[in-house]
Structure 1
């Protein structure tokens, strides 16, 4: 679909094969100027805001933190954080699921990626400020390049929140508890040598830039995935019961958690994959750096391209009954990371989300850990939850009440610290 705004042409792409060409096969013909302009005021020169050799180098530096071995060592921390969060969740009280899941995901992200304990007051602050900071990123993404940054009260508050966020992140290294293998994010950043700087270590600012980038990306994306998962499970009792059955086997058995944890969560994993299909990042903007032919269609130089993941993931040509939550459609697949071009919740190509394996691990485990303890139901069944597009696709207002489940074992993550799980 082509849209014309004055002299600027915008193209909306909802076809998976075309998206694959733009994001991967012919990625060098497309830039990311809108994304860079949108994220840089928050993330500085973190991975989101880098291109070319610098992007490749920073990605190389960070890759060990997301290796199979590194992720195996964070699995106990995910279980620990989720179980502790379940212990703090009040039963019988209306909960803002967006905020509740942001608190959980921020806590997990800091523990796993930085190996730093953060007090719950700071975690709550991070959850409260994530939405306005994200909104600022979205507004910059949508605004014309020439539009001024007007000093509105809302804009001033967002800039203050961003400044405070960077201060909070800059303080994390003081509480750093390095991973035994030296492959947590902070460890790999602190020991990295950058060829662009004559093999000198990364500056303190560069380290903070990357930590802020990963904290924002992981926390918000995981939170909305979990929030939508609870929404869909409440509407689909059979799927909810299947998740609960797997959760009970792991967290309510009274036994230590098994090493290969994800092997015991096949349906929960499929439920998360289906949530990622229905509620992905809505769009990914690109700009044509030169005239380029994609799938027989010519994009002129300077054209702005919007990859419509939301539409692509609900395309009836790719999915039967595309608007229905159906985890069984993924029965033949075990990973949301490498599937067909019709499914790319983590993007694809050189800018595919580096934390995709981490995200694919957090959501099923956290969902199961909470499902072992609680059943969540909408506080007002008459309220219609709507998807609100932004940097992520979030529920407009999701208020639910947690009811304790019979047979839940308090502290059921016993023995998790002694395990060395593999994923």
Structure 2
């Protein structure tokens, strides 16, 4: 018989009964199942109920599995939740930036950050994206084997760094960003998922992570202080954040607040884009017909030009479909929230301080909303089919109040990079290298994504 959490007295004060996910182990809960076969585990949840209880160690976490309930958590009742356990573990890195803050503070910071991602600014950032994507392609040689995952990560970091700090960074600052951010991207998930008591142990990845945090935050803090004193500021994201004024209060951000948002943009703003690009090239190689159609669109839109621009984006419609399918297929596993007051969720009454987890991956692989969810099919996003998809079931950048303010930046960077690379090359897998998904708290990482650079013949 299926295990049930709750009952008349409930779990930690929860009122109501809720099914518990299968394969729960003593003391560690579902952590082994989650790490061993995350795809099977996450996609099994919706079969058990509209809300399912999983255990991270001995901690019960409630996972809504329908678009409506997920929307309630992220949007309708967003004011009754704060960021949950996994986000709180990253506070030493992100401070009180948008990725971890909540409540009135989050709303104020979002009002200050949002104008930095208006369309006119995205157009300026797109020039950086186009230039750096062109430089990357020019650095490749025919038949060269490249680590696509690392190449896309380096590109995303370079784009974010230049958008944030213009082109005036000296080599010391640039080198530090390029050194620290990959460490924080890869080790941050491990820090979030491992028991807190392990943080202080003198093991190599702890030392590496803590050193990278310190170096990056010191470097950015120095840049913020310098920018404050400059009479003429460049037209970059850092200047926009420093100059931003809250429309309601007229207040601006202090140095600490700017620092937290800049580090958040460097970390969160590069991870999704880099991973989406890496997985996209992987999927193109696995689906030749998709690749042929994508390249045909690129050739038609660019008309022989070798770099895509902001003005090309509206015409790159199939490219956008492919990107959306990648974002569906490789979604984050868990987004944690914690109730700040009593919340009624599908017949359950959750008291304050209850952990709730939203899983975009689970929604994106639910056959009720996406038939044959394991099949890579960009046609799902064609205009004649797109309208029939449940909007609340597709959460590549969150939803509601916590919808990522940089989603347009990410979409532009993905399309410009794919079109620029595709105007020159196709990427072919290296035989004998099996690509696996490495689970993290966010999007999964690809392992061994080595590909050969082949010039396109037209």
Asked if Structure 1 and Structure 2 have the same fold, meaning a TM-score greater than 0.5 normalized by the shorter chain, the answer is yes
- 1: CA distance, partners of 2:384 / 2:445: 25
Q: Is the 8 A contact 1:290 1:302 kept in 2?
A: yes
Q: Does 1:186 align with 2:243?
A: no
Instruction: Give CA-to-partner distance per residue, 1:270-321, whole Å, 9 cap, x none.
Output: 1000000001122101122233212333334332111111111010000111
Instruction: Give CA-to-partner distance per residue, 1:64-97, whole Å, 9 cap, x none.
Output: 1111222122222211111111111243222111
- 1: CA distance, partners of 2:310 / 2:449: 34
Q: What is the CA-CA distance between 1:357 and the residue it aligns to? A: 1.3
Query: 1:258-273 to 2 correspondence within 5 Å?
Result: 260-273=311-324
Segments of 5+ residues of structure 1 without an aligned counterpart are 408-423
Counterpart in 1 of 2:162?
A: 111
Aligned pair count reads: 402
Counterpart in 2 of 1:411?
A: none
Higher relative contact order (CA 8 A, sep 6+): 1
- 2: CA distance, partners of 1:301 / 1:405: 57
Counterpart in 2 of 1:93?
A: 144
Range that drifts further, 374-383 or 323-332: 374-383
3-state SS of paired residue (1:341): helix
**Pair 208,73 (structure 1): closer, same or farther in 2 beyond 3 Å:** same
Q: Is the 8 A contact 1:61 1:188 kept in 2?
A: no
**Pair 348,275 (structure 1): closer, same or farther in 2 beyond 3 Å:** same
Instruction: Give CA-to-partner distance per residue, 1:355-403, whole Å, 9 cap, x none.
Output: 1111111111111111111110111255243353333221122111111
Q: Which protein has the larger Cα radius of gyration, Structure 1 or Structure 2?
A: 2
**Pair 382,115 (structure 1): closer, same or farther in 2 beyond 3 Å:** closer
**Pair 256,300 (structure 1): closer, same or farther in 2 beyond 3 Å:** closer
TM value normalised by structure 2: 0.79
Counterpart in 2 of 1:9?
A: 60
Counterpart in 1 of 2:287?
A: 236
Counterpart in 2 of 1:215?
A: 266
**Pair 24,92 (structure 1): closer, same or farther in 2 beyond 3 Å:** same
Q: What is the CA-CA distance between 1:119 and the residue it aligns to? A: 6.9
Q: 1:370 aligns with which of 421, 428, 431?
A: 421
TM value normalised by structure 1: 0.85
3-state SS of paired residue (1:92): coil
Range that drifts further, 274-283 or 123-132: 123-132
Counterpart in 1 of 2:97?
A: 46
Instruction: Give CA-to-partner distance per residue, 1:150-208, whole Å, 9 cap, x none.
Output: 232220111111222224434556699956xx5x4212222235799x96653333222
- 2: CA distance, partners of 1:255 / 1:372: 6
3-state SS of paired residue (2:436): coil
CA RMSD of aligned residues (A): 3.1
Q: 2:129 aligns with which of 78, 81, 87?
A: 78
**Pair 267,206 (structure 1): closer, same or farther in 2 beyond 3 Å:** same
Q: Does 1:152 align with 2:226?
A: no
- 2: CA distance, partners of 1:309 / 1:192: 32
Q: Does 1:389 align with 2:440?
A: yes
